[in-house]
Structure 1
């Protein structure tokens, strides 16, 4: 009795495909039935079923790239062809890599390399009926963020990937290193990280709270350095740095990061984070700004992100405020003290 031969045309075509990971649906599109695919995956056969509905078209262990492709195919999301640079992808996606695998793709030195990871976290909508299996850990979310494309793979934004990684980590040192690298490496701003950690309800964990305090301090230092660079690179008058303002013999008005007393212009870095007491912080910040402006002092709020992404534009905003000082009524006299 002879076995019915498998169709040579589609299998020969697949053998020359540069991607050697395909889903059952993709195989069907190439004319390979489920029975034919199963026959190829018999012991000693040329293929293997790596995940439910996902086939590895060679018998050896998968590469890191193949594991990523397989994880996304399992979540019913076909990876696109590699692109030379990161670029925004269309918003309608089914899944994306997140957690430590995403951080490895972003080349975080403090994240394990892809071959060292036993699991690949894949972010999917909460409504998807998927379960974790094999090397894939399913992470659910009410709303998928807009991913980036890194080496041809849909990857969650850094802040979201960090939150998903931190959710699986109990080591305070590792968490602190990851968060610090995110800020020092310019991957994202501290506020974005804290927002994601808060949304994931991770700010109740003491080791995460300690790491966030370090992160916010790191972010403020970097923002201050960029503010110094802005003043000196764009020829702005030298201000008084990091001072407290008070009324003569009166109450404390608040601290500012830079102050030009001859122009009555102050700059304040908006490094507030979206933590649980944010409403209180916002009210205090608003009260201080309104009080200073009632005294004739112009307050320019600048976020760390604007300093990072649009330094020249922010210098124009400050210069405009300084130039407009001559058109305003004289400001009230305030006492300036070191902070």
Structure 2
């Protein structure tokens, strides 16, 4: 008996990465036993074992794509487990083509999100991340299952000590329309990241940037869809009476107000914030003011539709009883 490695058994479509990176189970299905696979992986052999139970059917350094496929195969090593694992963290952000994320070849680890019941350990280049009771729905990016951006950010940030990088990633996520600030804050709350000073600073900047972006879209809606010019960012009061609250846009002749809902759900008092908002809206409506509630997502995804909503409210003003006289002050 000789120790010379066996020649690899030809596999159809071996030029494709899915054929170059195979699990032990996939090899068995093609008639390659564990002993044969081990022989192919001996020193100087044509194959290599890149992760437990995962083989690369060629020598040399694995490419980024091969590492990603190998990580997913490692995380899905069980009957019926296929499709549960997804790429997350910085590797996911690199797949989304974030300019602020390091390129895939520069990453020492690939984070893989798996169900919390899985008994898997981090090994080699794979860092296992366990999902919560309600795992996210993966998105397909370059043919791979990838965590949504907000979840990928929450899995990446714990391994980043540079506040500037964290802020750049969060800003890019919002500015490029991957997610709303509220979605990021929800994931960060879940991951208990808002106790870290550099993360809190980045989130504060994100919320301010998200608010500014929503206001820009509101200005764009009025301009592009030729709505009458409102009074921007004003406070409303009863003559000689109490402060009724601020609104983002107000048409005094029609008594129509627009308010952006940019609540972040960052703090535990979010319920009280919503209660205060509802109380203000109900008070204004009792005084005859129509309050149009817009969210950043609505302005991003359906700007024309939101313009129709506001225009309809303005046109309906003549059919309503006159509103109470209000004092309008700059905010």
The TM-score bracket by the shorter chain reads over 0.9
| Equivalent residue runs for 1:6-45 within 5 Å | 11-13=9-11, 16-19=14-17, 20-45=20-45
Q: Give the alignment's TM-score, normalised by structure 1.
A: 0.92
Aligned equivalent of 1:136: 126
Pair 293,15 (structure 1): closer, same or farther in 2 beyond 3 Å: closer
Aligned equivalent of 2:212: 221
Aligned equivalent of 1:301: 293
How far does residue 170 in structure 1 lie from its aligned partner after superposition?
2.1
Segments of 4+ moved more than 4 angstroms: 1-6
Check the 8 A contact 2:71/2:126 in 1, yes or no: yes
Root mean square deviation, CA, Å: 1.8
How far does residue 17 in structure 1 lie from its aligned partner after superposition?
4.2
Aligned equivalent of 1:113: 103
Deviations 1:26-62 (A, max 9, x none): 1111111111100100111000000001001111000
Is it true that 1:93 corresponds to 2:83 in the alignment? yes
Aligned equivalent of 1:257: 248
Aligned equivalent of 1:167: 158
Aligned equivalent of 1:66: 66
Deviations 1:138-177 (A, max 9, x none): 0001232111111111100001101111122222111111
Is it true that 1:198 corresponds to 2:186 in the alignment? no
**Distance in 2 of aligned mates of 1:27 and 1:15:** 14
**Distance in 1 of aligned mates of 2:163 and 2:145:** 28
Aligned equivalent of 1:187: 178
Deviations 1:102-136 (A, max 9, x none): 00111111111100100000001100110000000
Q: Give the alignment's TM-score, normalised by structure 2.
A: 0.94
Q: Aligned pairs, how many?
A: 324
**Distance in 1 of aligned mates of 2:4 and 2:327:** 94
**Distance in 2 of aligned mates of 1:267 and 1:93:** 44
Aligned equivalent of 2:46: 46
**Distance in 1 of aligned mates of 2:322 and 2:155:** 52
